[in-house]
């Protein structure tokens, strides 16, 4: 795949997917009907144009807001909704600044023909980047409403205010719909709105800061919402794709005839082989018949045994770019280590799979050389580029629409399913729906990177004086210690990965923080200091200290330890992407299993936009983290997954959900940061530290394995 794709698949400071879909197609070779009606289009900077509505509407990438002549108000963003609550929070942000009731608005997300390109929905960027942009556009529209009314009524704008979507004065009412009908604005508008319209201050928020019922909840509970796998088009067929029997296997030959004899469309294009038929049942049968004729050339592939050593042997030392090896050093680490009491330890973590409940899915439809794909991806514009590349289209010939999707967790950045569906649709001459099976989703989606770590530190009394940390392959998020240490060396090596790897909720921060926070506990033990006190003694980040104290208080940390044989408590904290988490956990180790008896989380992500959604995100993230901490581990040998099914890869369920408390620290003075990722990074180390307290066994790899003492 071209280099620029590779770059595009990365996000700053994160280990992102290195490989896109690997197809090289040979390809033997309308204007979008806008759903935006007549009215005004407003950019974030307050620029306004008139939109005549209908097919000729020209929505440009910078347009944030559409005020319809019919009174409708639409917020446009390229972000997606995968369950994290972005749709609701974006709606709240717009309602707040427009001064309208939230039900007066709708939010249009992620349609490359209609919405602005807001980048990936990843890295917890929706809250810090998209919310402010939406607020600014909304505030500009509000300001414009006031100024236009003032002019019409010959009053001073400062005397007028917007309430419930209109300026009302002495029996006169001027609403957003009235504004939308004021066509003469077209020419004069740019001067009408001053730059830097004020946003409503946090303490005056009425819609933001509240728990709003989830937008679209009714469609979800009635089964009416159409996820990507539910999209239906006239004459649509259902597709299936032939997968290699092992990683690295290459197709030597295949006979499509048996599939065609069963009435299916069957296509081979390079390494791609797939079928489409009237029902998914027929498509599966046809693919099975074809697969029995396939000949493959296999290659050697490593196994998950000894993975940590494998990664270290395959570390890449070449520096450069966001993805290369790196080394940062401040102070005199070696000198300080030589003079201090030292400790060292190494840690490991395996690959894990996202396993969103809705597997990757896409519906592709061609209209001559124009392609529309409905698919669940966190990168609609990136996938449009991948489609354009795969089918040699210009960007405006491909359109990607992302219906609200059944989970992603960083796992749906790539467009392979969109490309596959489009290739099948091209061959069939009809729309094709393709949904990966669970087995495909386990084996052929990318994984969270496996990783290994080496930590060394020197202490003097209760202070850390030197810190030397090396991470192999997790990614660089949260790799730098948040503790105040005078002499620090941090090294990062990406490694040749046996499996395809990419983003995941929290990604590298989870591994880096696991190693660091367990090591912090080990250092506390060496120093003979309580783990909480030791952390506080080495912190000058007030917000991190505050979440630690808040979690410890609620947990009653000082009295909650030394619970007797095989029961114990642990604490861990972390900082990533602008938010702070601390978790206290109590566990009981029985036989060979770890039962979590209680979890207390304290979280600070700045000003809280929607406390109910925030709590749900934290709790879901923490419970998801319990899976990777306690049970999840992708195993493979001979190029095959050994546990690629829900039966063999245990995920958190209701029964294992421990009693949990979540303390939200609101910081009205701090710009809100995203919250869907950071909580996960403190889960595994808190549990590992609790296992140590319970049994005296130091667990340095994930998933945690412990034996009752």
Partner 1 sequence: MARFTVHINRNELSTESPPDRPLLDVLREDFGLTGTKYGCGEGQCRACTVLIDDQPRASCLTPISSVEGMSVTTIEGLASGDQLTTLQQAFVDADGAQCGYCTAGMIVEATALLKRNPQPSRAEIVDAMNPHLCRCCGYRNILASVELAARRSEASDA
Total number of residues that touch ligand FES (CB under 6 A): 3
CB of 216 to partner 1, least distance (A): 8
Question: Among 6-14, 83-91, 342-350, 508-516, which window interacts with partner 1 (CB under 8 A)?
Answer: 83-91
Helix (H, G, I), strand (E, B) or coil at 233: coil
Q: Does 650 bind ligand FES (CB under 6 A)?
A: no
Degrees (nearest 5) of the Cα angle 226, 506, 477?
Answer: 140
Closer to partner 1 by CB, 170 or 654: give it: 654
Q: Does 225 bind partner 1 (CB under 8 A)?
A: yes
Closer to partner 1 by CB, 304 or 617: give it: 617
Closer to ligand FES by CB, 338 or 357: give it: 357
Q: Does 406 bind partner 1 (CB under 8 A)?
A: yes
CB 441 within 8 A of CB 355: yes
Question: Among 165-173, 544-552, 563-571, 610-618, which window interacts with partner 1 (CB under 8 A)?
Answer: 610-618
Distance between CA atoms of 649 and 577, rounded to whole angstroms?
29
Distance between CA atoms of 515 and 60, rounded to whole angstroms?
46
Cα–Cα distances (Å) from 100 to 44, 311, 494, in that order, read: 18, 55, 49
Residue 52 partner contact from ligand FES, partner 1, none using kind-dependent CB cut-offs of 5 to 8 Å:
none
Q: Does 570 bind ligand FES (CB under 6 A)?
A: no
Q: Does 407 bind ligand FES (CB under 6 A)?
A: yes
CB of 92 to ligand FES, least distance (A): 20
Q: Does 437 bind partner 1 (CB under 8 A)?
A: yes
Closer to ligand FES by CB, 407 or 658: give it: 407
Q: Does 234 bind partner 1 (CB under 8 A)?
A: no
Closer to ligand FES by CB, 220 or 319: give it: 220
CB 675 within 8 A of CB 617: yes
CB of 361 to partner 1, least distance (A): 9
Q: Does 213 bind partner 1 (CB under 8 A)?
A: yes
Residue 346, H or E segment: strand 341-349
The whole-angstrom distance between residue 653's C-alpha and the CA centroid of its chain comes to 21
CB of 619 to ligand FES, least distance (A): 12
CB of 230 to partner 1, least distance (A): 4
The whole-angstrom distance between residue 382's C-alpha and the CA centroid of its chain comes to 15
Angle between helices 380-391 and 416-428 (to 10 degrees): 40
Closest of 144, 701, 122, 184 to residue 451, by C-alpha: 701
Judge residue 321's burial from the number of C-beta atoms within 10 Å of its C-beta, 0-12 exposed, 13-18 middle, 19 or more buried: exposed
Distance between CA atoms of 550 and 663, rounded to whole angstroms?
7
Closest of 566, 562, 601 to residue 584, by C-alpha: 601
Q: Does 259 bind ligand FES (CB under 6 A)?
A: no
Closer to partner 1 by CB, 80 or 594: give it: 80
Instruction: Choose which of 27, 217, 338, 642 interacts with partner 1 (CB under 8 A).
Output: 217
Closer to partner 1 by CB, 531 or 625: give it: 625
Closer to ligand FES by CB, 132 or 407: give it: 407
CB of 359 to partner 1, least distance (A): 8
Beta strands in 44-93 (DSSP E): 48-51, 63-68, 73-77
Instruction: Choose which of 230, 255, 454, 541 interacts with partner 1 (CB under 8 A).
Output: 230
The whole-angstrom distance between residue 425's C-alpha and the CA centroid of its chain comes to 29
Distance between CA atoms of 11 and 496, rounded to whole angstroms?
19
CB of 210 to partner 1, least distance (A): 13
Closer to partner 1 by CB, 73 or 630: give it: 630
Q: Scan residues 377-396 and list those touching partner 1 (CB under 8 A).
A: none
CB of 658 to partner 1, least distance (A): 10
Residue 222 partner contact from ligand FES, partner 1, none using kind-dependent CB cut-offs of 5 to 8 Å:
partner 1
Give strand pairing partners of 459.
341, 464
CB 705 within 8 A of CB 642: no
Burial letters for 467-500: b for 16+ Cβ neighbours within 10 Å, e otherwise?
bbbbbbbbbbbbbebbbebebbbbbbbbbebbbb
Distance between CA atoms of 10 and 350, rounded to whole angstroms?
21
Q: Scan residues 642-661 and list those touching partner 1 (CB under 8 A).
A: 645-647, 651-655, 657, 660
CB of 110 to ligand FES, least distance (A): 18
Q: Does 248 bind partner 1 (CB under 8 A)?
A: no
CB 328 within 8 A of CB 480: yes
Give strand pairing partners of 585.
570, 599
Cα–Cα distances (Å) from 56 to 38, 371, 443, in that order, read: 10, 19, 44
Residue 43 partner contact from ligand FES, partner 1, none using kind-dependent CB cut-offs of 5 to 8 Å:
none
Total number of residues that touch partner 1 (CB under 8 A): 59
CB 665 within 8 A of CB 602: yes
DSSP secondary structure, 272-297, as one string: EEEEEESSHHHHHHHHHHHHTT-EEE
Give strand pairing partners of 361.
435
Q: Scan residues 2-61 and list those touching partner 1 (CB under 8 A).
A: none
Q: What sign for the dihedral angle of Cα 657, 450, 435, 422?
A: positive
Question: Among 13-21, 249-257, 274-282, 542-550, which window interacts with partner 1 (CB under 8 A)?
Answer: 274-282
Closer to partner 1 by CB, 548 or 680: give it: 680
Instruction: Choose which of 22, 319, 357, 642 interacts with ligand FES (CB under 6 A).
Output: 357
Residue sitting closest to ligand FES (CB) = 357
Closer to partner 1 by CB, 332 or 661: give it: 661
CB 244 within 8 A of CB 440: no
DSSP one-letter code for 329: E
Q: Does 82 bind partner 1 (CB under 8 A)?
A: yes
Q: Does 431 bind partner 1 (CB under 8 A)?
A: no
Degrees (nearest 5) of the Cα angle 692, 615, 685?
Answer: 15
Closer to partner 1 by CB, 85 or 449: give it: 85
Q: Does 279 bind partner 1 (CB under 8 A)?
A: yes
Residue 196 partner contact from ligand FES, partner 1, none using kind-dependent CB cut-offs of 5 to 8 Å:
none
Closer to partner 1 by CB, 402 or 544: give it: 402
Closest of 317, 314, 324 to residue 450, by C-alpha: 314
- What is the Cα Rg of the chain in Å? 27
Beta strands in 90-249 (DSSP E): 105-109, 162-163, 166-169, 172-175, 237-241
Closer to ligand FES by CB, 117 or 280: give it: 280
Q: Does 482 bind ligand FES (CB under 6 A)?
A: no
Q: Scan residues 46-85 and list those touching ligand FES (CB under 6 A).
A: 83
Closest of 385, 531, 518 to residue 462, by C-alpha: 531
CB 124 within 8 A of CB 673: yes
Closer to ligand FES by CB, 83 or 308: give it: 83
Sites of contact with partner 1 (CB under 8 A)? 82-85, 211, 213-214, 216-218, 220-227, 229-230, 232, 238, 279-281, 355-359, 404-407, 409, 435, 437-438, 612-613, 616-617, 619-624, 627, 645-647, 651-655, 657, 660
Sites of contact with ligand FES (CB under 6 A)? 83, 357, 407
């Amino acid at each position: 795949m071209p280099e620029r794709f590779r770059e595009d698949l990365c996000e700053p400071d994160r280990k992102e997917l290195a490989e896109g879909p690997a197809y090289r197609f040979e390809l033997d070779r309308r204007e979008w009907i806008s759903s935006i009606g007549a009215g005004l289009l407003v950019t974030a900077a307050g620029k306004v144009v008139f939109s005549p509505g209908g097919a000729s509407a020209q929505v440009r990438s910078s347009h944030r807001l559409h005020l319809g002549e019919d009174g409708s108000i639409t917020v446009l963003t390229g972000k997606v909704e995968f369950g994290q609550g972005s749709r609701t929070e974006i709606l709240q942000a717009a309602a707040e600044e427009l001064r309208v009731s939230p039900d007066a608005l709708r939010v249009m997300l992620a349609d490359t023909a209609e919405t602005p390109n807001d980048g990936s929905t990843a890295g917890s960027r929706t809250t810090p980047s998209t919310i402010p942009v939406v607020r600014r556009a909304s505030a500009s529209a509000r300001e414009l409403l006031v100024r236009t009314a003032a002019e019409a009524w010959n009053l001073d704008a400062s005397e007028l205010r917007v309430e419930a979507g209109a300026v009302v004065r002495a029996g006169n009412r001027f609403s957003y719909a009235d504004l939308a009908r004021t066509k003469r604005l077209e020419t004069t508008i740019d001067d009408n709105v001053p730059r830097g319209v004020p946003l409503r201050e946090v303490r005056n928020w009425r819609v933001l800061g509240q728990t709003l019922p989830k937008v679209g909840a009714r469609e979800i509970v009635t089964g009416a919402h159409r996820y990507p796998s539910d999209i239906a088009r006239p004459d649509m067929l259902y597709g299936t794709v032939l997968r290699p029997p092992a990683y690295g296997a290459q197709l030597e030959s295949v006979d499509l005839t048996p599939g065609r004899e069963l009435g299916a469309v069957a296509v081979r294009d390079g390494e791609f082989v797939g079928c489409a038929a009237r029902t998914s049942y027929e498509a599966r049968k046809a693919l099975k018949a074809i697969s029995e004729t396939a000949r493959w050339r296999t290659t050697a592939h490593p196994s998950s045994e000894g993975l940590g050593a494998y990664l270290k042997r395959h570390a890449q030392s070449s520096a450069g770019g966001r993805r290369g090896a790196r080394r940062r050093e401040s102070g005199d680490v070696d000198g300080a280590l030589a003079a201090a009491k030292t400790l060292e330890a190494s840690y490991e973590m395996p690959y894990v799979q996202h396993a969103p409940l809705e597997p990757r899915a896409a519906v592709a439809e061609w209209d001559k050389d124009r392609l529309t794909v409905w698919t669940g991806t966190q990168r609609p514009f990136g996938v449009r580029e991948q489609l354009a590349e795969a089918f040699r289209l210009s960007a405006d010939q491909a359109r990607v629409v992302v219906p609200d999707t059944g989970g992603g967790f960083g796992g749906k950045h790539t467009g392979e399913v969109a490309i596959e569906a489009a290739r099948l649709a091209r061959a069939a001459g009809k729309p094709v729906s393709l949904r990966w099976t669970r087995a495909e989703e386990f084996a052929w989606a990318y994984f969270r990177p496996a990783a290994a770590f080496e930590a060394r530190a020197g202490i003097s009394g209760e202070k850390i004086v030197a810190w030397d940390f090396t991470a192999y392959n997790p990614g660089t998020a949260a790799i730098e210690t948040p503790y105040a240490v005078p002499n620090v060396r941090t090294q990062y090596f990406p490694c040749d990965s046996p499996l395809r790897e990419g983003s995941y909720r929290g990604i590298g921060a989870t591994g880096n923080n696991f190693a660091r926070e367990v090591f912090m506990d080990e250092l506390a033990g060496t120093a003979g200091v309580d783990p909480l006190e030791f952390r506080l003694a080495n912190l000058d980040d007030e917000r991190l200290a505050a979440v630690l104290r808040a979690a410890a208080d609620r947990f009653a940390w000082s009295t909650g330890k030394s619970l007797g044989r095989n029961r114990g408590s642990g604490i861990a904290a972390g900082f990533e992407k602008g938010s702070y988490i601390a978790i206290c956990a109590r566990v009981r180790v029985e036989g060979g299993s770890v039962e979590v008896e209680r979890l207390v989380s304290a979280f600070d992500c700045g000003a809280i936009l929607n406390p109910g959604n925030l709590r749900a995100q934290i709790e879901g993230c923490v419970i998801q983290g319990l899976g990777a901490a306690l049970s999840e581990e992708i195993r493979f040998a001979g190029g095959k997954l050994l546990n690629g099914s829900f039966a063999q890869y245990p995920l958190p369920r209701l029964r294992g959900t421990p009693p949990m408390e979540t303390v939200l620290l609101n910081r009205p003075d701090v710009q809100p940061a995203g919250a869907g990722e950071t909580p996960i990074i403190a889960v595994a180390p808190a549990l590992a530290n609790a296992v140590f307290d319970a049994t005296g066994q130091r667990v340095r790899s994930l998933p945690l394995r412990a034996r009752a003492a």
